[in-house]
Homo-oligomer: A and B are copies of this chain.
Amino acid sequence: MPKQNKTKYALLGVLSLKPGSGYDIKKFCDFSISHFWNENYGNIYPVLKQLEDEQLATRTTEYHEGRPPRNVYFITEKGKRELDAWLQLPVENSPVRSELLLKLFFGRDIPVANLVDKLEKTRDRMRAILEEYALVEDFLRKEYEDQKGLHLWLATISYGAHNARATIDWCDETIKSLQNMDDKLIGTR
């Protein structure tokens, strides 16, 4: 198996749920998997063509009056097999890069208030994300009640929620410890 374009498998995955155009796929990604995966048009359209070239998907063009033509893609049997094979492969861990942690790590000479601000913003973002997850979860449970893979979709949300809560706790702890240290410094002046 060659070093691969994971976008390819993401698109095959979306098409395995239902056929759609590049535009549809983008919308689906933004709604359903954006908390752990993102795709942009500049990537989607070329890869869709590539899928067609490799016979992993077929394309039909729909014309509707007063609308731009839609290129609708369908996954083929070959595409399903290739997706399935990839899904079963062990997970490759891609390198992480956290700008927040980098700034914190080297932040000993910048004002504590600035660091605290970054932490508060992170915490607030995580809280907002948690609320969103709750909405998405409700929506999925109602709309896709009998969908076979629902529990897996919920599991990905649960992952996000676990980590968001962990990050919120860490932010709170770290803010407190930074402010404590700062108070002590003032006390000794």
Residues of A within 8 A of B (CB): 6, 9-10, 13, 16-17, 32-33, 35-38, 83-84, 86-88, 90-111, 114-115, 118, 121-122, 125, 148-149, 151-153, 155-156, 158-159, 162-163, 165-167, 169-170, 173-174, 177-178, 181
Question: Which residues of B are found within 8 Å of A181, using beta-carbon distances?
Answer: 151
- B167 and A155 form a contact (CB under 8 A): no
- B110 and A6 form a contact (CB under 8 A): no
- B177 and A36 form a contact (CB under 8 A): no
Closest to A181 in B: B151
Smallest CB–CB gap between A102 and chain B, Å?
A: 5
Copies in the complex: 2
- B166 and A106 form a contact (CB under 8 A): no
Question: Which residues of B are found within 8 Å of A13, using beta-carbon distances?
Answer: 102, 105-106
Docked CA distance A130–B17 (Å) = 37
Task: Select one of B17, B84, B100, B166 contacting A91, CB under 8 A.
Answer: B100
Could you give 5 example pairs across A and B, Cβ below 8 Å? A32-B105, A37-B97, A101-B159, A108-B148, A159-B174
Smallest CB–CB gap between A151 and chain B, Å?
A: 6
- B37 and A101 form a contact (CB under 8 A): yes
Question: Which residues of B are found within 8 Å of A105, using beta-carbon distances?
Answer: 13, 32-33, 36, 149, 152-153, 156
Smallest CB–CB gap between A107 and chain B, Å?
A: 6
Closest to A115 in B: B152
Task: Select one of B32, B108, B149, B169 contacting A107, CB under 8 A.
Answer: B149
